[in-house]
Structure 1
């Protein structure tokens, strides 16, 4: 699973859908990836791309999502959520919720076992993934069994030491982060009325969230907010796997995919996903029999 490394086209099947939604909402594009050798029903991953809430697309992350499907051995659904500022506030997470509901509704058609369902998000996508887990928990459906948060963007207040420390490095830094949050939240940024679905660091109750994998570098501007989230999840009894990569900056694995640390990070993620998605269905079935 590496940025820019697409698996051989004979190994993965792509299928595009547009989800029709009511209430005047525009259609929502999703792309389904299935390894050719996959025997359904398989585990399913809702993939949420990064880009600071203001950029990114299904096409831009096509190689990443395709490789994820092949390397984990599952069905991946990548969602083309609306970007800020045209789609502000909780708009992106609501789009991803609609995609998750569609995934569950179409599970038989696309060959997904809804008892093995994860959400995977990178950077801004990681923040949306966490907001989506909160939203699904609070609405009572769909049931997520795992969330993988890759150096997630969580806190619009940008008040931690690490959020102040990372400037002028040529990667995602404080200035870019402040601008992105302003595009998403407008005049509400940093205020008291920000929804935790848009900025999950605002959530005061984290119990009931799915088992979580989180990784971040110690030179990432999101380091402090990510570690704070991990600590709070652990305190609430949410099963947690946390990895901190020394000397790693934001997006290290995509900027230098051939580096040993990037390879280690990808290996850790894949191993965790395979473990979680191999056992989630049986765990839910056992819980349902109690």
Structure 2
């Protein structure tokens, strides 16, 4: 992408819902302090046939279908640029996955930057992973059948958690399910990308998110690959991956590059690039055909891995 994003470049189905999305001032401390209260006010209808349990230690939400058809599971991680967000914001998606695949979904809560920079969020997600393994028998879950997934910054945390878990001894994830993952701090360091005006998540906000999470300017020479998973040099031995990304969003190039590197390392990859789709359409674009087709394909792939 070499020119600014204009409305005519966005899929016609997505233009109306995108126009309703506010431009959140994530740089402002007052907004980040207010964000949890605003998110709690949003109405998220419960998924029929799915119960939700809230745990405090480790902090997570557990979605259990009444009609259990699989001993697989999904550990899900919400987005928010590493600086905002909470697990409940993905109640609809997590409930949908639990209902359609008949499996347990556990959505991790994690501490947010800049108050809690790396590795706080990753450590919190890792704690949920360890708890899920320890409680697998009680939950009716096969420890070998747990996928790790996430969206945006949660997708970056999911990719990083997969790498970390695979570096440890013990059960490894069955799959990694990554939606528009925020993988590479070096993208934020390219100031020329600021001029492209990506909707909802532009490079100026991206730089703030990475700076907050890393506790330093993005693009530095020494950044842990568990902080920015695109920096991980050896991707061999990682589990099969789904990577979905909009064709006109900021993360497109880094996500496609990560998919190609995984393939080159021998990892099975399903790469889904959605034409004319900007960042976050998976969430705010619900009800449109383009979004529903995308989610159906993504959930079907996940079921093939852990069903």
Equivalent residue, structure 2, for 1:43: 72
* Residues 77, 108 of structure 2: 8 Å contact kept: yes
Equivalent residue, structure 2, for 1:110: 139
Equivalence map 1:79-118=2 (5 Å)? 79-118=108-147
* Residues 52, 62 of structure 2: 8 Å contact kept: yes
CA separation of 1:37 and 1:142: change in aligned 2, threshold 3 A: same
The SS at the match of 1:258 is coil
Say whether 1:183 aligns with 2:221: no
Contiguous gaps of at least 5 residues in structure 2: 1-41
Equivalence map 1:211-230=2 (5 Å)? 211-230=240-259
CA drift at 1:150 = 0.3
* Residues 194, 204 of structure 2: 8 Å contact kept: no
Equivalent residue, structure 2, for 1:69: 98
The SS at the match of 1:131 is helix
* Residues 72, 146 of structure 2: 8 Å contact kept: yes
Specify which structure has the higher proportion of strand. Answer: 1
- Normalised to the residue count of structure 2, the TM-score between the two structures is 0.81
Supply the distance in 2 between the matched residues of 1:114 and 1:6 (Cα, whole angstroms).
Answer: 30
Supply the distance in 2 between the matched residues of 1:106 and 1:84 (Cα, whole angstroms).
Answer: 29
* Residues 149, 176 of structure 2: 8 Å contact kept: yes
Supply the distance in 1 between the matched residues of 2:43 and 2:143 (Cα, whole angstroms).
Answer: 29
* Residues 188, 207 of structure 2: 8 Å contact kept: no
Equivalence map 1:198-217=2 (5 Å)? 198-217=227-246
Equivalence map 1:22-171=2 (5 Å)? 28-38=58-68, 42-158=71-187, 164=193, 167-171=196-200
CA drift at 1:217 = 1.0
CA drift at 1:161 = 7.7
Supply the distance in 2 between the matched residues of 1:94 and 1:35 (Cα, whole angstroms).
Answer: 28
* Count of residue correspondences: 266
CA drift at 1:6 = 3.9
Equivalent residue, structure 2, for 1:14: 52
Stretch of structure 1 that moved more, 195-204 or 156-165: 156-165
Contiguous gaps of at least 5 residues in structure 1: 20-27, 279-290
